[in-house]
Amino acid sequence: MSTQTLDPAVQERVNAWLEGSYDDATKSEIRRMLDNNETTELTNAFYKDLEFGTGGMRGIMGVGSNRVNRYTLGMATQGFSNYLNDTYPNEDVKVVIAHDSRNNSDVFARMVAEVFSANDIHVYFFEALRPTPELSFAIRELNAHGGVMLTASHNPKEYNGYKAYGRDGGQLVAPHDKNVLAEVRKISDIADIKFEPNEANIETIGEAIDNKYLDALVKQSISKEAIQNQKDLKIVFSPIHGTGGVMVPPALKRFGFENVITVEEQMTIDGNFPTVVYPNPEEEEAMTLALRKSAEVDADLVMATDPDADRVGIGVKNLDGEFELLNGNQAACLLVRYTLDAWEKAGKLTGKEYVVKTIVTSYLIDKIAASKNVECFNTLTGFKYIGEIMTKLEGQKTFISGGEESYGYLVGEHARDKDAVISCAMIAEMVAYYKDQGVSLMDALVDMYLEFGFYKEKLVALKKEGKQGAEEIQAMLEAYRTNTPTELGGSKVVTFKDYKTSVSKNMLTGETEKIDLPSSNVLQFFTEDGSIVSARPSGTEPKVKFYCSVNQPLASKEDFKKVEAQLDEKLTTLLKDLGAI
């Protein structure tokens, strides 16, 4: 317990909550924290307002302006309502609201729906929990003007969040996110929030939208004959106590898979996520039960989705016949390669197709796309930027697939957000396609490396919580800017990109170029031997992330383990040189 005094600015915010029109329970909790001299907790809860990051608003639940609670979400919704009503003054404004399995998500969703309704906005309200991608689909299907998903995605159980969506079904991007924030900041008193609902404006939705969503997914299937031949493909699936349990099994069934084995312990809807430390399929620990079940039944494929079913982790048998988890870059590369190959085989490539990835996702995808003469766009981190490109190109070009290294992928144009439901179905189809040819997914991965080069990526995240942690992260990035490394992993740094200043610098000649992407606090180092290191603060968690990518040719399947070991060693050296490990 800290004995420090509160910063005057923080104390002023605390006093405003104690003196404002907040409920008694909120004020009692603040007084308890003051009485116990919990200055660090109070500082972290009040030192700033909760703002939109790469994944919307996300934070720990509790009292305070930097916490997820009735008031911070109420202000966000009131500001969003004001923005929508101002933007579409002559229209009957409509929004869609959904929530995941997190504690309080259903309560927050109802409160958000009530605030919208009180602002004369028609609300389509999902009757029960649904995946994030279905919300994105529903906004487009119902011709709504926006939407909100109550979720903190894969964060720990203490978190919740608020993803705001625009008319295109994508998360808000500039200038809309900033304009909504400007409206939120105009709210000087919580009395300005219209909490009293107009029930006539709230319409419950459910099964009809579910069926339309599933119908849209089935249209993405390409290798129907392979699925028919491999309909008994043994698939183990876990929703990790979340919304994936609602939609993934039905989607797999509609695709034609008849042997889906669920991890029963994790099929229960529970916001405490009792069987895992973190409900994040990026973490090997979260996949433990699914992997155990896979070994028991000798499965062909294991998949697990996060609580709002926009991310999926997968496991397959490696070259030694043991189950191994693929990382997000490997899965994204395999999925892009499969969809492009399948489109080409079906004669569907016309020259107007494209894929999209983020700048921190494997550049192997760029090479795969180039081999098919398919354009590959690179965006900032955050699927909202992928959705933004899709909206800009709608009607001009055809999006095939894309994604990001953080286990989020999309196949098809039915949504504008990453979709673990279609990803699960298409990954299963991909495994069926290769198995039908007598090839495992791991064999397909090695074949891909033989053709394009062995790409290996690694992500390291340093956790730095609270106000002090945020300051340390900024100081670390500024140090890289002012004292840019000239060598990493024994190779010269040839290009340094600072996305905050939108400048790309040739480290050998000093020449600079403008980066044609929105400003973002991201740094990238490109070395002479083709290695790439990116550093950025997370937009959803108190972390600074380092993304490393190395590559070299793979001459034969027999060299796989030797080359992998060499690349692993190189990744470690790069991270050490940057001080990330």
The burial class, CB within 10 Å (0-12 / 13-18 / 19+), for 477 is: middle
Place of tokens 């029963």: 264
Residues pairing with 23 in the sheet: none
28 is catalytic: no
Cα separation of 175 and 389, whole Å? 15
Say which of 153, 221, 223, 504 is annotated catalytic.
153
- What secondary structure, in 3-state letters, does 397-450 show? EEEEEEEECCCEEEECCCCCCCCHHHHHHHHHHHHHHHHHCCCCHHHHHHHHHH
Tell which residue, 96, 246, 76, has the closest CA to residue 162. Answer: 76
As a whole number of angstroms, the distance between CA 481 and CA 478 comes to 5
Spatial distance between the Cα atoms of 148 and 100, rounded to a whole number of angstroms: 11
- Written as six digits, the tokens of 344 are 């080409």
Q: How far apart are CA 444 and CA 436, in angstroms?
A: 12
Which ranges in 199-243 belong to alpha helices (H)?
Answer: 207-218, 224-229
Count Cβ atoms within 10 A of the Cβ of residue 577 and give its class: 0-12 exposed, 13-18 middle, 19 or more buried. Answer: middle
Q: Which residues contact 54 (CB under 8 A, 6 or more apart)?
A: 381, 382, 384, 538, 539, 540
Contact 571, 548 (CB under 8 A): yes
Neighbours of 51 (CB within 10 A): 16
User: Token pair for residue 67?
Assistant: 């916490």
Inter-residue contact 403 to 393 (CB < 8 Å): no
C-alpha 532/C-alpha 534 separation (Å) is 7
Q: Which residues contact 251 (CB under 8 A, 6 or more apart)?
A: 214, 217, 218, 421, 422, 424, 425
* Angle value at C-alpha 544, between 526 and 532, nearest 5 degrees: 15
Characterize the bridge pairing of strands 454-463 and 543-552.
antiparallel
For 75, phi then psi, to 5°, come to -65, -40
Residues annotated as catalytic are 153
